[in-house]
Structure 1
Amino acid sequence: MPVSATSTLPATPTLSLRDDTFDAANLTAYHLYAVASPGRLRLAVLDVARHKIVAFDDLPANSLAELPAVAASTLLGQPGWARLRLALGGGASPLLPAPLYRTGDETAYLGLHHALAPSEEALAYTLPLPAPATDIVSLFAAPGSLVQWLQRVHGPSARLLPQASALLGGLLHQRGPGAAPRQLYLSLADYELTAVVLGTQVEFCNSFTVSTAEDVAYYTILVMQELGLNPDQDTVTIWGELTSDSATFALLSTYVRNLRFGARPFGLQYFYYLNEVAEYRHFDLFSLAFCE
């Protein structure tokens, strides 16, 4: 969906795709990946033996606190998956170098960036990355009711993490452990733009609230200026909710000379029906395959 220069994103339509081989009666053969944000729930199923995505849902949803009720009628409400990863969007997720992190201090760390509501829990997620220089911990908040529901229904196979960590997991998997030029990566999801700058390590990762094409262009140029990237020379790769003829892409292209769409995460296979979905969409969702 393109972002209008004068309006916010429209409501997400429901989309449900299934490979002919998907066996809903044998969930132990699959991993379930989910990204939930206010107003939206996206799901993908991975066939473990073939390392292939075999099911995909893009559904409207309510608040994260109400997710358990919404999930009851979706794949997320079905227990028995070999592994489940649920990424949460729409909230603060500051990063902390792993050597500085101490278990039990999550509330104190997160409190510097987010006022924790009485109904929320402060959580931490350590993303397994390809080099010690990028060994970081994400702090984030989740509704306590959601945390309890996830453990009750799915048990130890389930894990919560912030949406930005899913994006980071995919980006670092794509780049691998070797040295690579510094580059800006963007992910546009509904009302949120996540910007990541990677060099020899994670140099920057932050999410911005956006509602117009001008917002997206402003934060993109701001990050490039602050990180010393050149809009006329450096490549910017973008994923998410836009098209090549959208107001957002057109405006960005006037400021960034080398703007390109990203591809799906490498190392996975994708079933045929996903051909109707643009390859630069849902990178964060499919990247959950690389999150422990």
Structure 2
Amino acid sequence: METGVSNQLKSLSIQPSVSLVDKSFSKEKASQCHLSVAIGEQQFSYSVLDLKNSRYLALEEFQFENQLGFNGISEKIKEIISSSVMEDCSFKSISASIIHLKATLVPAPLFEESKKADYLRFNFQDSEEENTAHDYLQNLDAYNIYALPQQANDALKQFFPNVKMLHYSSVLIESAIIPPWRDEKTKKVYLHLRDAQLEIIVTEDKKLIFYNSFHFESKEDIAYYLLFVCEQLGLNPHEISVTVTGKIRKTEEKFIFLETYVKSIVLSSRPQQFGYSYVFDETPGHFYHALFTQYLLN
């Protein structure tokens, strides 16, 4: 679906796989908007939130056939931004989340900024092409330490010098426990699906009990990891409810297969704090969950 797309996109060699842009959005209106960007090795996406009216106006997603690596994607970032509705826009605020697995959580009382590279090195191999960054997760009172790909960071800051960098997992974790719309005192299970990767989050009374990311290749893999986590935490899959976000539909084999193992699977709705343009009417509410909640960490 394409709605109100800028003519500039016609000259873009990388065409968006999804382009939803409200006709009311303009460069002049950008000064009252927040831009949320998400960058992975095979995709680039962004959404635009009108802060004055608390309403999402735009979302575009670009998929790359090959896994380019963050060095390779830096050139794609420049091409996309310079040929899209983002070009020459002066947004009021901007955040960008990095999608990869190199991140680790450290409780705030144990965190020392001078040692953040050591925390990350304990679990992952160093790379000269990455810096070490961190997000403070206020509702968790913890720090998420992660590798920040330097070339991707530089490419973004070429256009948006004041961009706030985040890790993708920070967005998922905080959105699972941010009050007031996560006020359940019982254990809650969240399953986020993207490409060949899934994230499982378990919370209880606004506290994080479990978070991990897994690679999957089949519907059986998804069920296995979910049931494994339930077993480790003493959760009965026939008694719990699992809230699902990401790109999955009820008619897909993955969803139908999960229903045979889990009593209740609920597709998440969009954050109720915001309104949404008519351009999102045909987009399922659980799609683009992270992009729609990323502003909450701003």
Q: Within 5 A, what are the aligned runs for 1:23-102?
A: 23-61=26-64, 62-72=68-78, 73-74=80-81, 78=88, 80-102=90-112
Partner of 1:168: 173
Residue of structure 2 equivalent to 1:7: none
1:6 is matched with none
Q: Which residue of 1 aligns with 2:9?
A: none
Describe the superposition over 1:151-208 as per-residue Cα deviations: whole angstroms up to 9, x where unpaired.
343223x111111111122222365575521111010011110110000211111111
CA RMSD of aligned residues (A): 1.9
- Secondary structure of the 1:276 match is coil
Asked whether the 8 Å contact 1:71–1:77 carries over to 2, the reply is no
SS in 1 for 2:242: strand
Structure 1 residue matching 2:285: 3-state secondary structure: coil
Contact between 1:170 and 1:265, CA under 8 Å: does it hold in 2? Answer: no
Structure 2 runs not aligned, ≥5 long: 1-14
**Residue equivalent to 2:290:** 284
Aligned twin of 1:242: 248
Tell me the secondary structure at the aligned position of residue 242 of structure 1. coil
Q: How does 1:100-249 map to 2 (within 5 A)?
A: 100-129=110-139, 134-156=140-162, 158-173=163-178, 175-176=180-181, 178=183, 180-200=185-205, 201-249=207-255
Question: In structure 2, what residue type is equivalent to 1:44?
Answer: S
SS of equivalent residue, structure 1 residue 105 = helix
Match of 2:277 among 265, 271, 274: 271
Flag the 1:78–1:41 CA change in 2: closer, same or farther, 3 A.
farther
- The SS at the match of 2:38 is strand
Checking the alignment, whether the CA contact within 8 Å between 2:27 and 2:89 is kept in structure 1 is no
Unaligned runs of 5+ in 1: 1-11
Structure 1 residues 286 and 177, CA gap change in structure 2 (3 angstroms) = closer
Please, what TM-score do these two structures have when normalized by structure 1? 0.88
Aligned residues: 276
State whether structure 2 residue 260 is matched by structure 1 residue 254: yes
Of all paired residues, the percent bearing the same amino acid is 23
- Counterpart of 1:8 in structure 2 is none
In 1, the alpha carbon distance for the partners of 2:273 and 2:293 equals: 10
Flag the 1:213–1:76 CA change in 2: closer, same or farther, 3 A. Answer: farther
User: Higher RCO, 1 or 2 (CA under 8 Å, sep at least 6)?
Assistant: 1
Is the partner of 1:34 in helix, strand or coil?
Answer: strand
Distance 1:177 1:55, change over 3 A: closer
Residues 36 and 161 of structure 1: is their aligned pair in 2 closer, same or farther, counting only changes over 3 Å? same
